Amino acid sequence: MQSSIIMKRFKVLALLLAAAMLLTPMVVSAASSKPVKIGLLSPFSPPGDPAAGKRMQWGAELAIQYINEEMGGVLGGRKVALEVEDDAGTPAEGIAGFRKLVQKDGVVAVVGQYHSSVCIAVNKVAQDLEVPLFSSGASSPKITESLNPYIFSIMSLTPDRAKFWVDFAKSMNWKRVAIVAEDTDYGTGFKDWVVKKAGEAGIETKSVIFPRTMTDFTPILLETKAWKPELIINLGVGAPAYLMVKQAYDIGLFPKAKMLASFAWPVRPEYWDAVGKKGKYILYTSYYKPGMLMTEIGDWAAPRYKKKYGEDPTFFALNVFGEMVVIAQALNRAQSDDPKALAKALVGHTYRDWNGDVLFEEPKNLKWHNVSAPHLVLQQTEVGQPFSESLLVYPPKLGGSGKIVEP
């Protein structure tokens, strides 16, 4: 009797063990099939720059394809998924969007920060929530100077770009530079640094700050014209930047005085739609030019982007693409989808993106977790000119001609 009871108990135990063995692979399989989410927080509506946000989303979507198809996913085959939020170019919307991505959607990192004022605000929340945040286009040194262990920047910082512009002006023998800047951290930060670097180089400057919602630039442009600048640095973003070009042309200021866009918005179709033939001869800053040497990752991305979206990728589109590929590599190094583990894995290890090797280090200054690309000055010499056909003007070490096409 006793032995019969014991046998029955053994049989029950054996059945339970067998069931556990059958169930365990199912649990593991379910966990491994759960996608790893990466967030994109960018401007998709005014007063932000929707044209930039749209192209960064295109870069992010292409990164999802690359990671899942070419890299085989992450963490042993898990797919990567994209979650998108609009920060509208405002700090309040940026904070709300970041919290949703992290606390509701469960992303492991967030890329796509574009406006400095937004990124500065969101940076503090990223540190509180302990989730990596990537500055994909925001350039204020306040972002990296925070020494936040969760902030990462693959972007030229304001002091570096300001010095580059001053060096360019010196190379052209210009003595008078006007700065027309929006009233944001982006605009005012650049104004301060250009004035500082120009002063050190013996170049005179005149600064005008305008509300980012301004639509009539005529009064401040007439004031600028009376000062007789040789170069105007256009520190507008989106529609106001285009209006500044058009209205400067209408009063005879541009293109007699050269105008330099602070990033590559003159390659956008939206720019030409807004200004038409009045936009010819504008100069602009970029961090690459189509046809330049890229890594095997960039060689995969650029032609697919152009085929899918009908235009060459902008730097910001490629930057978001590359950041997500770097995040995928760091997830594999961390062997975890925990944001804290990801942040640790991102530091001190070399990863590969579209442009070269990426190494985030921790000097106790504005270069904290920062990797910067080379700077270029290009010129649009024809209406609707493709990015690939822009004239490379400066610097000579990267193939710049040193010559500007005149009207």
Q: Which range is least confidently modeled, 4-8, 118-122, 234-238? A: 4-8
Which pLDDT value is given to residue 23?
38
Reply yes or no on whether the pLDDT at 179 is more than 50: yes
Which pLDDT value is given to residue 5?
41
- Cα–Cα distance for residue pair 258/357, rounded to 1 Å: 35
Give the pLDDT band of residue 28 (cuts 50, 70, 90): very low
Task: Determine whether domain 34-156+292-371 maps to CATH 3.30.379.10.
Answer: no
- Cα–Cα distance for residue pair 301/342, rounded to 1 Å: 24
Give the pLDDT band of residue 33 (cuts 50, 70, 90): confident
Is there a shared CATH topology between the 34-156+292-371 domain and the 159-286+375-398 domain? yes
User: In the 3-class helix/strand/coil scheme, how is 81-140 assigned residue by residue?
Assistant: EEEEEECCCCHHHHHHHHHHHHHHCCCCCEEEECCHHHHHHHHHHHHHHCCCEEECCCCC
Q: Which pair of tokens denotes residue 190? A: 């650049």
- Cα–Cα distance for residue pair 299/376, rounded to 1 Å: 20
Tell me the angle at which helices 296-309 and 315-334 cross, rounded to the nearest 10 degrees: 130
Give the pLDDT band of residue 32 (cuts 50, 70, 90): low
Q: Per-residue pLDDT averaged across 258-262, rounded?
A: 98
CATH architecture label of 159-286+375-398:
3-Layer(aba) Sandwich (3.40)
pLDDT in tens, 338-353: 999 999 999 999 999 9
Reply yes or no on whether the pLDDT at 11 is more than 50: no
Which pLDDT value is given to residue 373?
85
Give the pLDDT band of residue 30 (cuts 50, 70, 90): very low
Sign of CA pseudo-dihedral 102, 106, 108, 114: negative
Q: Which pair of tokens denotes residue 96? A: 């709300």
Quick check: 123 and 140 in contact, CB under 8 A? no
- Cα–Cα distance for residue pair 316/57, rounded to 1 Å: 10
Reply yes or no on whether the pLDDT at 254 is more than 70: yes
Give the pLDDT band of residue 25 (cuts 50, 70, 90): very low
Q: Which pair of tokens denotes residue 173? A: 């023998």
Q: Which amino acid is at 180?
A: V
How many other CB atoms sit within 10 Å of the CB of residue 240? 22
User: Is the model more confident about 374 or about 264?
Assistant: 264
Matching residue, tokens 């010499």:
381
CA quadruple 262, 135, 271, 395: dihedral, nearest 10? 40
- Cα–Cα distance for residue pair 325/216, rounded to 1 Å: 42
Q: What share of the chain is helix, strand, coil (3-state, %, to 5)?
A: 50, 20, 35
Matching residue, tokens 């050269």:
258
Q: Per-residue pLDDT averaged across 276-283, rounded?
A: 98
Within 251-383, residue ranges assigned H as helices are 269-275, 296-309, 315-334, 339-346
Reply yes or no on whether the pLDDT at 9 is more than 50: no
User: Is the model more confident about 83 or about 33?
Assistant: 83
pLDDT in tens, 215-230: 999 999 999 999 999 9
How many other CB atoms sit within 10 Å of the CB of residue 92? 11
User: Is the model more confident about 208 or about 11?
Assistant: 208
Q: Which range is least confidently modeled, 25-39, 94-108, 248-262, 332-346? A: 25-39
pLDDT in tens, 61-103: 999 999 999 999 999 999 999 999 999 999 999 999 999 999 9
Nearest to 368 by CA among 211, 189, 149, 163: 149
- pLDDT more than 70, % of the chain: 92
Q: Which pair of tokens denotes residue 79? A: 């797919």
Q: Which amino acid is at 379?
A: Q
Quick check: 108 and 331 in contact, CB under 8 A? yes
- Cα–Cα distance for residue pair 220/18, rounded to 1 Å: 80
Nearest to 201 by CA among 178, 169, 227: 169
Reply yes or no on whether the pLDDT at 6 is more than 70: no
pLDDT in tens, 105-120: 999 999 999 999 999 9
pLDDT in tens, 363-388: 999 999 999 988 999 999 999 999 99
Q: Which amino acid is at 11?
A: K
Which pLDDT value is given to residue 10?
40
What does DSSP say about strands 258-261 and 370-371: parallel, antiparallel, or unpaired? Answer: unpaired
Q: Where are the domains of the chain?
A: 34-156+292-371, 159-286+375-398
Q: Per-residue pLDDT averaged across 186-191, rounded?
A: 96
Nearest to 369 by CA among 107, 135, 163, 137: 135
Quick check: 305 and 313 in contact, CB under 8 A? yes
What does DSSP say about strands 80-86 and 36-42: parallel, antiparallel, or unpaired? Answer: parallel
Q: What average pLDDT is seen over the chain?
A: 92
User: In the 3-class helix/strand/coil scheme, how is 190-242 assigned residue by residue?
Assistant: HHHHHHHHHHHHCCEEEEEEECCCCCCCHHHHHHHHHHCCCEEEEECCCHHHH
pLDDT in tens, 307-346: 999 999 999 999 999 999 999 999 999 999 999 999 999 9
How many other CB atoms sit within 10 Å of the CB of residue 388? 13
Nearest to 143 by CA among 98, 103, 113: 113
